[in-house]
Amino acid sequence: MAINFRRARPDDLHAIVAIFNESVDLPINDEVELVTPASRREWLAAFNDDFPLWVAEQDKRVVAWCGLEPFYPHPAYRFTAEISIYVGRPAQGQGIGRRFLSLVDQQVQARLPIRTIVAYIYQGNQASQHLFATAGFTHWGRLHQVANLNGKFHDLLIYGKTY
């Protein structure tokens, strides 16, 4: 089945939230409770031409999303983005994450005012570590035991790529 990638629209919010919520109970997500579309409206509205949000569609259904958000709110970091990729469970294993990273590379090299992308990945999330490493991201560091998810502390790994 064909996968179509495009910029996210406000009417994608319910699908984006549903995909995000599939991972809330896994040690790969910072949230400890399900999020709602209402709680994510402002988040969605903050994406723009410089820091976009894309979705992947399969059979006209949103099955994954990828977003670039400002890394830190100070002007010195305006050329750095934090990346997030979430693929719905039924669509996992189809190379969508790899294709999103290829799209991001193309967009950064062609038009986005981004020089560096940072990915935060929990130590136990081997699939994401592999995905980002094979896309040219390198392991930049580790924040030891910084996240408490469901009563257990986790290390947060930092992967990055500079263009």
pLDDT at 31 over 80: no
58, 57, 79: which is closest to 68 by C-alpha? 79
State percent of the chain over pLDDT 90.
85
Q: Where does the pLDDT of residue 22 fall: very low under 50, low under 70, confident under 90, or very high at 90 and above? A: confident
Residue 73 lies in a domain: yes
CATH code assigned at 32: 3.40.630.30
| Domain assignment of residue 147, yes or no | no
Domain count, the chain: 1
**111-137: per-residue pLDDT in tens?**
999 999 999 999 989 999 999 999 999
Answer whether residue 55 is part of any domain: yes
For residue 26, being part of any structural domain is answered with yes
**Pairing mode, if any, of strands 80-87 and 61-70?**
antiparallel
91 in a structural domain: yes
- Given a cut of 70, is residue 25 above it in pLDDT? no
Percent of the chain with pLDDT over 70: 93
Question: 132: burial class by Cβ within 10 Å (0-12, 13-18, 19+)?
Answer: buried
146 lies in a domain?
no
Among 42-46, 71-75, 80-84, 145-149, which stretch is predicted with the lowest mean pLDDT?
145-149
Give the domain range for residue 113: 3-119
SS (H, E, C) the chain: CCEEEEECCHHHHHHHHHHHHCCCCCCCCCCCCCCCHHHHHHHHHCCCCCCCEEEEEECCEEEEEEEEEECCCCHHHCCEEEEEEEECHHHCCCCHHHHHHHHHHHHHHHCCCCCEEEEEEECCCHHHHHHHHHCCCEEEEEEEEEEEECCEEEEEEEEEEEC
In a domain, 140, yes or no: no
User: Is position 145 within any domain?
Assistant: no
Both tokens of residue 97? 């994450």
pLDDT tens digits along 96-112: 999 999 999 999 999 99
Q: What was the pLDDT predicted at 35? A: 83
